[in-house]
Amino acid sequence: MAEVKLKDIVKVYDGGVKAVDNVNIDIKDEEFVVLVGPSGCGKSTTLRMIAGLEDITDGELTIDGKRMNEEAPKDRDIAMVFQNYALYPHMTVRDNMAFGLKIRKYAKEEIESRVAEAAGILEIEELLDRKPKALSGGQRQRVAVGRAIVRKPKVFLFDEPLSNLDAKLRVQMRTEISALHTRLQATMIYVTHDQIEAMTMGDKIVVMKGGVIQQIGSPLSLYNEP
Protein backbone atom coordinates (compact mmCIF):
# COMPACT_ATOMS: atom_id res chain seq x y z
CA MET A 1 0.00 0.00 0.00
CA ALA A 2 1.55 3.32 -0.99
CA GLU A 3 -0.18 6.53 -1.93
CA VAL A 4 2.21 9.37 -2.65
CA LYS A 5 0.95 12.95 -2.53
CA LEU A 6 2.80 16.08 -3.55
CA LYS A 7 1.05 19.21 -2.31
CA ASP A 8 2.15 22.67 -3.49
CA ILE A 9 5.75 21.45 -3.83
CA VAL A 10 8.38 24.11 -4.54
CA LYS A 11 12.13 23.75 -5.04
CA VAL A 12 14.44 26.75 -5.10
CA TYR A 13 18.12 25.81 -5.41
CA ASP A 14 20.87 27.74 -3.65
CA GLY A 15 21.53 30.63 -5.99
CA GLY A 16 17.84 31.18 -6.65
CA VAL A 17 16.86 28.84 -9.51
CA LYS A 18 13.20 27.88 -9.04
CA ALA A 19 13.33 24.35 -10.45
CA VAL A 20 9.86 23.24 -9.31
CA ASP A 21 7.00 25.67 -8.87
CA ASN A 22 3.87 24.64 -6.97
CA VAL A 23 3.53 21.06 -8.15
CA ASN A 24 0.51 18.98 -7.07
CA ILE A 25 0.33 15.25 -7.88
CA ASP A 26 -1.83 12.54 -6.28
CA ILE A 27 -0.38 9.11 -6.92
CA LYS A 28 -2.60 6.14 -6.12
CA ASP A 29 -1.49 2.81 -4.69
CA GLU A 30 0.10 0.61 -7.41
CA GLU A 31 -0.14 3.38 -9.99
CA PHE A 32 2.60 3.78 -12.65
CA VAL A 33 3.09 7.52 -13.03
CA VAL A 34 5.41 9.02 -15.63
CA LEU A 35 6.85 12.53 -15.33
CA VAL A 36 7.70 13.69 -18.84
CA GLY A 37 9.04 16.91 -20.34
CA PRO A 38 12.10 18.54 -21.89
CA SER A 39 15.51 18.70 -20.23
CA GLY A 40 15.57 21.17 -17.34
CA CYS A 41 11.79 21.15 -16.68
CA GLY A 42 12.20 19.90 -13.10
CA LYS A 43 11.44 16.17 -13.44
CA SER A 44 14.61 14.92 -11.80
CA THR A 45 14.40 17.50 -9.01
CA THR A 46 10.83 16.37 -8.26
CA LEU A 47 11.89 12.71 -8.12
CA ARG A 48 14.90 13.50 -5.94
CA MET A 49 12.70 15.38 -3.46
CA ILE A 50 10.44 12.31 -3.21
CA ALA A 51 13.56 10.18 -2.57
CA GLY A 52 14.88 12.63 0.01
CA LEU A 53 18.02 13.41 -2.00
CA GLU A 54 17.00 17.10 -2.21
CA ASP A 55 15.36 19.23 0.46
CA ILE A 56 11.83 20.44 -0.25
CA THR A 57 11.75 24.26 -0.16
CA ASP A 58 8.00 24.52 0.34
CA GLY A 59 4.90 22.31 0.28
CA GLU A 60 4.27 18.85 1.67
CA LEU A 61 5.19 15.32 0.60
CA THR A 62 3.16 12.51 2.17
CA ILE A 63 3.27 8.74 1.78
CA ASP A 64 0.11 6.99 3.01
CA GLY A 65 -0.84 10.19 4.77
CA LYS A 66 2.42 10.51 6.70
CA ARG A 67 4.51 13.67 6.20
CA MET A 68 7.86 12.71 4.68
CA ASN A 69 9.59 16.10 4.18
CA GLU A 70 12.02 15.58 7.06
CA GLU A 71 12.52 11.78 6.80
CA ALA A 72 16.01 10.55 5.86
CA PRO A 73 16.18 8.77 2.46
CA LYS A 74 16.80 5.39 4.08
CA ASP A 75 13.64 5.75 6.20
CA ARG A 76 11.29 6.41 3.27
CA ASP A 77 10.64 2.83 2.08
CA ILE A 78 11.57 3.96 -1.42
CA ALA A 79 14.15 2.57 -3.86
CA MET A 80 15.52 4.54 -6.79
CA VAL A 81 17.07 3.45 -10.08
CA PHE A 82 19.47 5.95 -11.65
CA GLN A 83 20.27 6.73 -15.27
CA ASN A 84 23.97 6.03 -14.73
CA TYR A 85 23.14 2.83 -12.75
CA ALA A 86 25.21 4.10 -9.75
CA LEU A 87 26.75 0.65 -9.15
CA TYR A 88 29.76 0.31 -6.88
CA PRO A 89 32.64 -0.58 -9.26
CA HIS A 90 34.72 -2.48 -6.71
CA MET A 91 31.85 -4.78 -5.66
CA THR A 92 30.43 -7.85 -7.39
CA VAL A 93 26.87 -7.82 -8.68
CA ARG A 94 25.86 -9.91 -5.66
CA ASP A 95 27.41 -7.41 -3.23
CA ASN A 96 25.95 -4.45 -5.10
CA MET A 97 22.49 -6.00 -4.76
CA ALA A 98 23.05 -6.93 -1.10
CA PHE A 99 24.51 -3.59 -0.01
CA GLY A 100 21.29 -1.74 0.81
CA LEU A 101 20.12 -4.70 2.93
CA LYS A 102 23.47 -5.02 4.73
CA ILE A 103 23.48 -1.39 5.83
CA ARG A 104 19.94 -1.91 7.10
CA LYS A 105 21.19 -4.90 9.12
CA TYR A 106 19.12 -7.64 7.49
CA ALA A 107 20.05 -11.21 8.45
CA LYS A 108 22.50 -12.99 6.12
CA GLU A 109 19.99 -15.69 5.09
CA GLU A 110 17.33 -13.10 4.30
CA ILE A 111 19.80 -11.15 2.17
CA GLU A 112 20.84 -14.28 0.28
CA SER A 113 17.28 -15.34 -0.44
CA ARG A 114 16.23 -11.86 -1.57
CA VAL A 115 19.25 -11.50 -3.89
CA ALA A 116 18.57 -14.96 -5.35
CA GLU A 117 14.89 -14.14 -5.89
CA ALA A 118 15.62 -10.79 -7.58
CA ALA A 119 18.37 -12.35 -9.73
CA GLY A 120 15.83 -14.96 -10.85
CA ILE A 121 13.20 -12.37 -11.75
CA LEU A 122 15.73 -10.35 -13.79
CA GLU A 123 17.51 -13.44 -15.21
CA ILE A 124 20.93 -12.31 -14.05
CA GLU A 125 21.87 -15.38 -11.93
CA GLU A 126 24.97 -16.09 -13.99
CA LEU A 127 26.27 -12.53 -13.51
CA LEU A 128 26.29 -12.50 -9.69
CA ASP A 129 30.06 -12.93 -9.28
CA ARG A 130 31.03 -10.36 -11.92
CA LYS A 131 32.01 -6.76 -11.32
CA PRO A 132 30.11 -3.96 -13.11
CA LYS A 133 32.90 -3.31 -15.64
CA ALA A 134 32.40 -6.83 -17.00
CA LEU A 135 28.72 -6.14 -17.80
CA SER A 136 26.97 -4.64 -20.81
CA GLY A 137 24.82 -1.51 -20.37
CA GLY A 138 21.63 -3.56 -20.36
CA GLN A 139 23.05 -5.97 -17.79
CA ARG A 140 24.12 -3.07 -15.56
CA GLN A 141 20.62 -1.64 -15.71
CA ARG A 142 19.17 -5.03 -14.72
CA VAL A 143 21.51 -5.09 -11.71
CA ALA A 144 20.46 -1.56 -10.76
CA VAL A 145 16.81 -2.65 -10.92
CA GLY A 146 17.70 -5.77 -8.92
CA ARG A 147 19.27 -3.65 -6.22
CA ALA A 148 15.99 -1.76 -5.93
CA ILE A 149 13.81 -4.91 -5.93
CA VAL A 150 15.65 -6.66 -3.07
CA ARG A 151 14.56 -3.90 -0.72
CA LYS A 152 10.86 -4.70 -1.45
CA PRO A 153 10.01 -1.00 -1.16
CA LYS A 154 6.50 0.40 -1.31
CA VAL A 155 7.61 2.93 -3.93
CA PHE A 156 10.04 2.65 -6.85
CA LEU A 157 11.55 5.73 -8.48
CA PHE A 158 13.18 5.59 -11.92
CA ASP A 159 15.27 8.52 -13.21
CA GLU A 160 15.64 8.15 -17.01
CA PRO A 161 16.74 4.53 -16.53
CA LEU A 162 16.82 3.64 -20.23
CA SER A 163 18.45 6.68 -21.84
CA ASN A 164 21.94 5.17 -21.92
CA LEU A 165 20.74 2.03 -23.72
CA ASP A 166 20.51 1.45 -27.48
CA ALA A 167 17.09 1.69 -29.14
CA LYS A 168 16.40 -2.05 -29.34
CA LEU A 169 17.28 -2.68 -25.70
CA ARG A 170 15.27 0.37 -24.68
CA VAL A 171 12.10 -1.08 -26.18
CA GLN A 172 12.75 -4.46 -24.53
CA MET A 173 13.43 -2.93 -21.10
CA ARG A 174 10.25 -0.84 -21.35
CA THR A 175 8.26 -4.05 -21.61
CA GLU A 176 10.24 -5.64 -18.78
CA ILE A 177 9.72 -2.72 -16.40
CA SER A 178 5.99 -2.69 -17.18
CA ALA A 179 5.88 -6.45 -16.47
CA LEU A 180 7.76 -5.87 -13.23
CA HIS A 181 5.15 -3.31 -12.20
CA THR A 182 2.38 -5.85 -12.73
CA ARG A 183 4.33 -8.53 -10.87
CA LEU A 184 5.44 -6.48 -7.85
CA GLN A 185 2.22 -4.46 -7.55
CA ALA A 186 4.22 -1.48 -6.27
CA THR A 187 3.74 2.23 -6.82
CA MET A 188 6.18 3.41 -9.48
CA ILE A 189 7.21 6.95 -10.47
CA TYR A 190 9.19 7.13 -13.67
CA VAL A 191 10.99 10.11 -15.20
CA THR A 192 11.74 10.37 -18.92
CA HIS A 193 12.09 12.98 -21.67
CA ASP A 194 10.81 10.38 -24.17
CA GLN A 195 7.13 10.89 -25.01
CA ILE A 196 6.70 7.42 -26.51
CA GLU A 197 8.10 5.86 -23.35
CA ALA A 198 5.66 7.96 -21.32
CA MET A 199 2.64 7.06 -23.46
CA THR A 200 3.40 3.33 -23.55
CA MET A 201 4.29 2.88 -19.89
CA GLY A 202 2.23 5.31 -17.81
CA ASP A 203 -1.16 4.77 -16.17
CA LYS A 204 -0.99 8.48 -15.48
CA ILE A 205 1.23 11.02 -17.24
CA VAL A 206 2.40 14.30 -15.77
CA VAL A 207 3.67 16.71 -18.44
CA MET A 208 6.06 19.30 -17.01
CA LYS A 209 7.54 22.46 -18.48
CA GLY A 210 9.59 25.14 -16.79
CA GLY A 211 9.01 23.70 -13.32
CA VAL A 212 5.20 23.61 -13.59
CA ILE A 213 2.69 20.92 -14.56
CA GLN A 214 1.20 21.57 -17.99
CA GLN A 215 -1.08 18.55 -18.27
CA ILE A 216 -1.93 15.53 -16.18
CA GLY A 217 -4.00 12.49 -17.14
CA SER A 218 -4.18 9.04 -18.72
CA PRO A 219 -2.39 8.49 -22.05
CA LEU A 220 -5.77 8.42 -23.81
CA SER A 221 -6.99 11.68 -22.24
CA LEU A 222 -3.75 13.42 -23.28
CA TYR A 223 -4.12 12.21 -26.88
CA ASN A 224 -7.64 13.56 -27.02
CA GLU A 225 -6.78 17.02 -25.73
CA PRO A 226 -6.22 19.72 -28.35
Judged by the rule CB under 6 A, the positions of this chain that interact with ligand ADP are: 13, 15, 17, 19, 37, 39-45, 53, 82-84, 86, 88, 159
Q: Which of residues 96 and 187 has its CB atom nearest to ligand ADP in the complex? A: 96
38 secondary structure, DSSP code: S
For residues 8 and 183, which CB has a smaller minimum distance to ligand ADP in the complex?
Answer: 8
Instruction: Kindly report the number of other CB atoms within 10 A of residue 220's CB atom.
Output: 8
CB of 14 to ligand ADP, least distance (A): 7
Closest CB to ligand ADP: residue number: 44
Q: Which of 44, 76, 49, 20 is nearest to 161 (CA)?
A: 44
Q: Alpha-carbon distance 34 to 26, whole Å?
A: 12
Smallest distance from ligand ADP to CB 175, Å: 23
DSSP state of 222: H
* Distance of closest approach, residue 88 Cβ to ligand ADP, in angstroms: 6
Closer of 74 and 108 to ligand ADP (Cβ): 74
CB of 144 to ligand ADP, least distance (A): 9
Query: Residue 29 or residue 83: which is nearer to ligand ADP going by CB?
Result: 83
DSSP code of residue 37: -
Torsion of CA 27, 33, 34, 35, to 10 degrees: 0
Residue 76 CB, shortest distance to ligand ADP, in Å, is 12
List, edge to edge, every strand of the sheet that includes 32-36: 78-81, 155-159, 187-192, 32-36, 204-209, 212-217
CA atoms within 13 A on the CB side of 130: 12
CB of 45 to ligand ADP, least distance (A): 3
Select 3 or 91, whichever has its Cβ closest to ligand ADP. 91
Cβ closest to ligand ADP, residue 27 vs residue 208? 208
Q: How far is Cα 186 from Cα 168, in angstroms, rounded to an integer?
A: 26
